[in-house]
Structure 1
Amino acid sequence: MNLALRKPMTLAEFLAWEERQPLRYEFDGVGPVAMTGGTFAHAAIQRNLAIALGGRLRGKPCQFAGSDLKIQVADGHIRYPDGIVVCSPVDRKATVVHDPVVVFEVLSPSTAASDRIVKALEYQATPSIRRYVMLEQDGVGATVYARTGDAWTHDILIADSLMALPEIGVEFPLAELYEGIGFDDELDADRPSPGEPV
């Protein structure tokens, strides 16, 4: 990235600048932050999330949107979550959503620290966000933050947990989000032990 781009930008300047870029950028309140590519597991979790929520929300007022749509969060920052649920009308030409209800991030080694701390604080400070779900990609698991009055509570979900999203009236097994992904321990279980006949 050009060093001149790190001089402070306003939100309006960033939105106008990003519209002309071939790649996607988030806005950290100072300047653009380039988005990077992901892994097969990351893409598979996003796909499964769209399938799990898309079907369950059909005919309801809330709808799921994937990572092509940006959201504006506290302090005028711009983020591209891996998925959101919005329950208010959105103009079909909108590129920014201002009031997501549920936000999903698939954790990656390069973004996990930001997702767990920086974005968690931003999402907590954004009143419309009722639930923030961080999905692991190296195993079946999730950390879920939920707004309860003025408090922000959290739960840890494991493989046999239910993903409950009461804000949008949806519940499903967490394992659904990991269909089609082979983890190392599963692959190792299929391999014969040394000395075992093949």
Structure 2
Amino acid sequence: MVLITGILRKPRSNKLYTHDEYLRIEEKAKSKNEFYLGLIIPKAGSKAIHNEISANITTALKIAIRGLKQKYLVLNSDQKIRIDSEDTTVYPDALVICEKPEFWKGREDIIVNPYVIVEMLSKSTQNYDRGEKFMLYQRLPSLKEYIVVEQHTPLVESWYQLEENTWQKTAAQGTDGLLSIRSLGITLCLDEVYEHIDF
């Protein structure tokens, strides 16, 4: 077991792997695993509500950025992020890249320059997503905004980087709520995020 922000996460084994070994295992794996300081840690499977909200957010972001002068790329939860300084590779639920993706060692399944990252919260991961995972993401020089989304109540929170090591939190609540995503200059409508979700 590995204690991360008060959550016990069970690694695949107690063996320490190199990142290259992890990538070879991940290519053949039937489910997703993350890499944390040599440990391979299975990622919890997603339920229908998680998948639907995640798809809604990805769609809403893609529609909202279409008219912008700046070019952005929206990717889903299959895209890995490498945090080299922390020897960590993780899967976000969604992300936005400014201009062009920068691939880790030329691998198109791993990027190093997310501009906005979105994570869906669950009871088992919310402390990790709000705590240590956010701290890991802050090591990425490209990251400008971090968004977390509740599954069982209409609530979306954003941390926007005002300057180095200074993040400002805003929140929108209720299906009629509007969240300003300042890094992109767009507004996220919670009725779109939670479309077809019953509370």
- Give me the TM-score of the superposition, normalised by structure 2: 0.82
Opposite residue 11 of structure 1, the aligned amino acid is H
1:182 paired with 2:198, answer yes
Please give the alpha-carbon distance, in whole angstroms, between the structure 2 residues aligned to 1:180 and 1:43. Answer: 12
Opposite residue 157 of structure 1, the aligned amino acid is A
1:31 paired with 2:39, answer yes
Identify the match of residue 166 of structure 1 among 159, 166, 182.
182
Which stretch of the first structure deviates more once superposed, 7-16 or 61-70?
A: 7-16
Alignment partner, residue 75 of structure 2: 65
1:79 paired with 2:95, answer no
Please give the alpha-carbon distance, in whole angstroms, between the structure 2 residues aligned to 1:50 and 1:3. Answer: 29
Return the index of the structure with the highest Cα Rg: 1
Residue 3 of structure 1: CA displacement? Answer: 8.0
Residue 93 of structure 1: CA displacement? Answer: 6.5
Alignment partner, residue 156 of structure 1: 171
Q: Deviations over 1:4-31 (max 9, x none)?
A: 8422223233223212222211111221
- Sequence identity (%): 29
CA RMSD of aligned residues (A): 2.2
Alignment partner, residue 143 of structure 2: 129
Q: Deviations over 1:95-150 (max 9, x none)?
A: 00110000001101121121111111111222211111110001100221111111
Please give the alpha-carbon distance, in whole angstroms, between the structure 2 residues aligned to 1:167 and 1:82. Answer: 18
Structure 2 gap ranges (5+): 1-9
Flag the structure with higher helix content.
Answer: 1
Please give the alpha-carbon distance, in whole angstroms, between the structure 2 residues aligned to 1:125 and 1:4. Answer: 25
Alignment of 1:82-161 (within 5 A): 82-90=93-101, 94-150=108-164, 151-159=166-174, 160-161=176-177
Q: Deviations over 1:62-109 (max 9, x none)?
A: 111010111112512111111000113237960001100000011011
- Give me the TM-score of the superposition, normalised by structure 1: 0.83
Opposite residue 82 of structure 1, the aligned amino acid is D
Structure 1 gap ranges (5+): 184-198
